[in-house]
Each structure stands twice: as structure tokens, then as C-alpha cells.
Amino acid sequence: MSFRLTPTRLAAIYSCLRAMPPFCRWKLPPADQITFKAVKRHDVYGEHDMTPNIIRVSTSLNGHWDTICKTLAHEMVHEAQRVAGEPRTHGEGGFMRRWRLVARRFGWDPKAT
């Protein structure tokens, strides 16, 4: 990776994505209302805790810009579920509906969540 992944940089990427469709339509909170953590984990790319509102991104598994953006976008879909009061699932419900919108917009494989 050409730069060190830090909470400040994760917040900046979140803010950038939040300003673009479809994220800009989902009433996501600003970055300063979320705690971002860069963690050294080998079992998950990222994770989102709803209470308290924390997004963690693995420095071990996210080594390229594209991977970091996809991981953060995935966690942002979970945040959108939280904001909308939807159940937290990965199935065909709210998550996949939202993820397909994100994947189409950014040119990512909608099956790769």
C-alpha cells in the first residue's frame, strides 16, 4: 500500500463516498459522528458496529485503493440500514438491494460483497 491506513484517512474516504450517489441520498451521518478504526485483522475486511457507531477496516486485508473503497462502501451500506431502521442482513433484503446500487454506480461486481 502506498499510504498508511489511519482513522483520519478512513473518515476522508467515507466523506468522499458519502457525497456521491447513491450514498448522498441515504441520510448517512457525517464522518465526525462515526468512530473509524484501522485494525490489524486477518479474518474480516471490515466491520460495522451499530452501537456505538464504529467502522473498522483491516490494514492486513485492505492494501489497495479499490479494496479499501469497496470495504468502506460495504460498511456504509450497513450504516444506511441502521439509519433506515432496516434489519441487518446480507440476504436479498435491504443490504443486497442497496449494494447492487452501489456496485452499479462504481463499476464493481454486485456479487462481491
**What is the domain-level CATH number for residue 75?**
3.30.2010.10
Average pLDDT over residues 13-42: 97
Q: Please name the residues in contact with 102: beta carbons below 8 A apart, sequence gap of 6 or more.
A: 22, 23, 73, 76, 77, 108
Q: What is the band of 27 on the pLDDT scale with cuts at 50, 70, 90?
A: very high
In contact, 31 and 55? CB cutoff 8 Å: no
Query: What integer pLDDT is reported at residue 1 of this predicted model?
Result: 46
In contact, 68 and 57? CB cutoff 8 Å: yes
Any domain includes 113? no
How many domains does the chain divide into?
A: 1
pLDDT one-digit tens code per residue, 75-94: 999 999 999 988 877 766 78
Average pLDDT over residues 40-63: 92
Average pLDDT over residues 54-60: 96
pTM of the model as a whole: 0.92
Tell me, what DSSP letter sits at residue 33? G
